[in-house]
Structure 1
Amino acid sequence: MALEYRKSHTAKDATVAEEIQHIISSFTGFSNGANMVDRLFTYLNRHWIKDNMAAEASDSESLSKWGYDPSTGEGRMKATWCARVANPSSIIPVYSLALRWFRIEFVEPLFNSGKFLKKVHDVMGQCRNSG
């Protein structure tokens, strides 16, 4: 997807607004498709994934490195979410997996290239200087 974006937006005259509009429309289409696939897997999400997420969350030893104190029970929810996000092989719903993939394959390469951020900063600087 990032490669497709780069090929279609190599023109130097593309404005930041056009690029942002393209990103928004790409994400909207991707998100809608991921949501449809997620609904197809409703049974899987409801039973198998939920059970596996509960099994992962019950492991106090792995949660303790994320700030969970088993003696007081404080910080369990935050530690559970941190552990899920940090573990690339964790069991998560299909929609969450799709959003993670979009971030890794599209957003991170876009921001790591620096060109897009430079354009955004230039436009922001022009707006500040003009007003």
Structure 2
Amino acid sequence: MGRHLSERSRQIRELHQKGLKRREIAAQLSVSVNVIRQAVEQGREVGALEPFRPKIKERCQEYIRRRNLRLGSVNDVLSALSENQILWLINKTQKAEEETIAGYLLELVRDAHASATGAAKSNIKH
């Protein structure tokens, strides 16, 4: 954490810590999402950024257990979709400039939650 950070790395870290999504940071700094992803991963590796919220995940797993649900996986979701639905999902994922289907599904959930609660929506390209 005592290492000297470049101005760009400092900007990325500050925006990430404010809760901005990788896509939002990339747009604000006029760089690719991949640059942001790499910077965040490197920040976590050197301890400049916190690891991905393991305490929240543990707490949610307890809620899931209490309600007799399973966590499942993206593979479970894909297995239940038709080929046309999967192709649609792949196209939407790429259009949204997400690197993974999981990332796109995450943004869909965030947008649905924002609609239901009145919170700010993401900038996902539907």
Q: Same fold (TM over 0.5)?
A: no
Larger CA Rg, structure 1 vs 2: 1
With structure 1 as the length reference, what TM-score do the two structures score? 0.28
Q: Which has the higher contact order (CA 8 A, sep 6+)?
A: 1
